[in-house]
Chains A and B, each alone.
Chain A
Amino acid sequence: MGVTTSALALVKEVAIAAHAPRFLYLRWPFGHALGEPGNIAQQRAVLHDMLSMATSAPRPGLVVDLPYKWRREKYPSVIDWGTPGDAVVSQLSLLSPQDRGEKS
């Protein structure tokens, strides 16, 4: 029985070459895939993005490029965990209709 997967990546080319179902790429240092120590809002934001990718990625093999700058970003509290996060939604909206799996 298959299991839905959602993965974080810190090296973009490797994520693309891995051809995994769902990847979220962060421009953050090694050892910091979820962010800064003690920054709970940041860690929850990343988890929200992973969960958003799990619920709303339209097809396999996508690598969403998260825009968060290292140590220079503020993370608002996640209000609605049922709604996909803004970063994931805006990245997915950049796909062509074909990429989204819709008929063009």
Chain B
Amino acid sequence: MDTSSKKTGATSRSAATTTSSRGPARTHIGWLKELWVRFLSNTEFGAAVGHFASRAIALPQLRRLAVGAIPWTPLRKPLSECTVVLVSTGGVHLRSDRPFNLNSDSSFRVIPNDAQAEDLAISHQAYDRTDALKDINLVFPIERLRELAAEHVIGRLAANHYGFGLMGSAKRLMPSLKEVARRISESGVDLALLVPA
């Protein structure tokens, strides 16, 4: 797929992890919900329904909460010296860790920077995670970022990364958000990349 990389001298490795026999674990959500998420993620009408629900749930809360000056921290170093952290809301966690409550979960999970696809799991019921289970980078691009660190595009990955599950209430998420923000800002991270479900 990336055949032009040889000509440009780019050093990216070709994907091997998608052929791993043990990818991330799929948390069971039931056949009816699987049909529903397939509708949401893979059909045009489903996407419209999903967008509508997302707006209906989020906009009123954001109008109330996202007020005041927008925080602004320009990068203080070149990318090649930056420590990067990944935060996901796709329900990603270590397989050995407690799964997210599928209906709503305000907690977070910590994922170490050397986690392999087979060490991970996805517990989420509001998107079709079939493709993410084949290639975790779609919702948690840790392998791609490891490659970029090896290529010195970014300095390094932070030791720990953070995953959230499905949660409709921003207010109930606040304690977890503040804790994750505190950990990130106290760990010498320069850049946080946020990936939605």
Query: Contacts of B191 on A, CB cut-off 8 Å?
Result: 3-6, 51, 54
A5–B58 touching, CB < 8 Å: no
Q: Determine the interface band of chain B, counting residues with CB < 8 A from chain A.
A: 35 or more
Q: Tell me if A77 counts as interface (CB < 8 A to partner B).
A: yes
The distance in angstroms between the C-alpha atoms of A36 and B193, with both chains bound, is 19
Residue on B with the closest CB to A41? B2
Contact A37-B18, Cβ < 8 Å, known A4-B75, A60-B71, A77-B5:
yes
B153–A10 touching, CB < 8 Å: no
The distance in angstroms between the C-alpha atoms of A35 and B54, with both chains bound, is 20
The distance in angstroms between the C-alpha atoms of A17 and B141, with both chains bound, is 25
Closest Cβ of chain A to B154, distance in Å, is: 7
The digit string for A31-73, where 1 denotes a CB below 8 A from any CB of B, is 1111111111101100100110011000111000000000000
Closest Cβ of chain A to B13, distance in Å, is: 9
The digit string for B48-81, where 1 denotes a CB below 8 A from any CB of A, is 0011001100110011001100111111001110
The distance in angstroms between the C-alpha atoms of A41 and B190, with both chains bound, is 25
Query: Contacts of B132 on A, CB cut-off 8 Å?
Result: 31-32, 37
Residue on A with the closest CB to B190? A4
B137–A20 touching, CB < 8 Å: no
Query: Contacts of B4 on A, CB cut-off 8 Å?
Result: 76-77
Query: Contacts of B55 on A, CB cut-off 8 Å?
Result: 11, 13-14
Residue on A with the closest CB to B7? A77
Residue on A with the closest CB to B194? A7
B residues at A contact (CB < 8 Å): 1-2, 4-5, 8, 10, 12, 14-15, 18, 40-42, 47, 50-51, 54-55, 58-59, 62-63, 66-67, 70-75, 78-80, 85, 90, 126-129, 131-132, 134-135, 137-139, 141, 144-145, 148, 151, 153-154, 184-185, 189-197
A to B CB contacts below 8 Å, 22 in the list: A4-B191, A4-B192, A9-B196, A13-B59, A14-B58, A19-B66, A20-B66, A30-B40, A31-B128, A31-B129, A32-B132, A34-B138, A34-B139, A36-B138, A37-B138, A38-B135, A40-B14, A51-B191, A54-B191, A77-B8, A77-B12, A81-B151
